[in-house]
């Protein structure tokens, strides 16, 4: 019994020991797993933290770089912005200046347009007064006689002298102008002076190539083109159109070369044409002396009460003859006037002896 108890005791003790052992084992087992897990998690976390640290460093480096770039951009943008702003301010102020200038120019333009309109209106008024005078002369109601002294083929280098002399004498003449006929010092200025000093600026074609091989009388269209081109040139220089046309070489020569009468086409182009009734013959090869030209002018004009005298402002002798002839004719009752399309002397009438 005693032995049995002992065995039971040993068994129980053994069981107890096993249980304790198991408990200890279980305890350590229980303890060991979380620590290992913890340690493994901690390692992971440390690794992750390391990664986070590294990423953070990387990020912060990137951000710094971005910030730097941004700062650079901003500072550049700032400079650009400043430049742009100052450019814009300059442009705006420039724009204001230009707008003001434009306004001034518009006002000036309007003023000039008005002057041109007034001048054209005065021109018509003046032309109709001359026409009235012509009719009185023709009707014998006045002692006044009229000389239309015309200078062809200019402006030339001598035109300035014609203008000076005409001004001194207080007379007005008509210039049949042709751009290519002669050289001039300052043609636009000459044309402006002719106009501004009260003379008539008329049309003698742009090219003046009236010889058989020239471009003027090959076809009527060519002639009209050369008339219009001269008008454009005069308009460009003076702001006024030409109104009267004279054929280089005369109308008979023009008709002969063209083989047709261009009168209608000339009229359709807006021109009155004119010939001449007196000629000082200053365009010949055998040059006339100044005295000859003066006598020729005075004698011929005196045959007529309304005379259209042909001369050329490239002939130096004509310039010498001009003042003397004018004075002699003024003494004989002649006034010197510019030609207008309203004149009785236009077209075929030029050669009619108004006496």
- Least distance (Å) from Zn ion to the CB of residue 281? 13
Give the residue with the Cβ less far from Zn ion, 176 or 336.
176
- Least distance (Å) from Zn ion to the CB of residue 152? 4
Contact positions toward Zn ion, by CB under 5 A?
Answer: 152-153, 248
Please, is 138 exposed, middle or buried when counting C-beta atoms within 10 Å of its C-beta (0-12, 13-18, 19+)?
middle
- Least distance (Å) from Zn ion to the CB of residue 309? 14
Give the residue with the Cβ less far from Zn ion, 145 or 204.
204
Which among 172, 217, 214 is positioned nearest to 193, based on CA atoms?
Answer: 172
Give the residue with the Cβ less far from Zn ion, 152 or 342.
152
- Least distance (Å) from Zn ion to the CB of residue 106? 41
Which among 339, 281, 283 is positioned nearest to 307, based on CA atoms?
Answer: 339
Give the residue with the Cβ less far from Zn ion, 137 or 216.
216
Burial 286-309 (b: 16+ CB within 10 A, else e): eebebeebbbbbbebbbebbbbbb
List alpha helices for 181-337, DSSP H. Answer: 187-196, 220-238, 251-258, 263-268, 290-302, 316-331
- Least distance (Å) from Zn ion to the CB of residue 312? 7
Please, is 173 exposed, middle or buried when counting C-beta atoms within 10 Å of its C-beta (0-12, 13-18, 19+)?
buried
Give the residue with the Cβ less far from Zn ion, 153 or 194.
153
Burial 252-263 (b: 16+ CB within 10 A, else e): ebbeebbeeebb
- Least distance (Å) from Zn ion to the CB of residue 246? 7
Give the residue with the Cβ less far from Zn ion, 137 or 339.
339
């Amino acid at each position: 019994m005693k032995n049995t108890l002992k065995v039971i005791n040993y068994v129980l003790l053994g069981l107890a020991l096993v249980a304790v052992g198991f408990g200890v084992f279980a305890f350590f087992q229980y303890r060991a797993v979380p620590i290992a897990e913890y340690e493994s998690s901690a390692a992971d976390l440390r690794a992750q933290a390391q990664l986070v640290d590294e990423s953070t460093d990387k990020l912060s480096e990137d951000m710094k770089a971005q910030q730097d770039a941004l700062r650079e951009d901003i500072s550049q943008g700032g400079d650009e912005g400043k430049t742009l702003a100052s450019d814009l301010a300059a442009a705006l102020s420039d724009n204001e200046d230009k707008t003001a200038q434009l306004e001034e120019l518009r006002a000036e333009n309007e003023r000039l347009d008005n002057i041109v309109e007034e001048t054209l209106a005065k021109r018509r008024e003046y032309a109709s007064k001359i026409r009235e005078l012509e009719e009185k002369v023709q009707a014998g109601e006045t002692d006044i006689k009229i000389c239309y002294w015309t200078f062809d083929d200019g402006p030339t280098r001598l035109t300035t002298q014609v203008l000076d002399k005409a001004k001194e004498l207080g007379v007005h003449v008509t210039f049949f102008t042709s751009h290519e006929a002669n050289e001039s010092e300052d043609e636009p200025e000459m044309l402006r002076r002719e106009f501004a000093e009260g003379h008539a600026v008329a049309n003698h074609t742009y090219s003046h190539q009236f010889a058989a091989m020239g471009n003027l009388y090959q076809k009527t269209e060519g002639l009209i083109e050369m008339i219009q081109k001269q008008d454009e040139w005069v308009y460009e220089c003076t702001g006024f159109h030409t109104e009267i046309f004279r054929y280089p070489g005369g109308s008979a020569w023009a008709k002969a070369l063209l083989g047709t009468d261009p009168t209608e086409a000339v009229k359709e182009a807006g021109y009155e044409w004119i010939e001449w009734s007196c000629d000082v013959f200053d365009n010949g090869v055998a040059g006339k002396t100044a005295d000859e030209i003066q006598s020729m002018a005075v004698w011929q004009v005196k045959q007529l009460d309304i005379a259209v005298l042909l001369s050329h402002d490239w002939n130096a002798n004509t310039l010498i003859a001009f003042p003397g002839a004018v004075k002699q004719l003024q003494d004989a009752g002649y006034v010197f006037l510019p030609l207008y399309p309203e004149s009785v002397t236009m077209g075929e009438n030029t050669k009619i002896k108004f006496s």
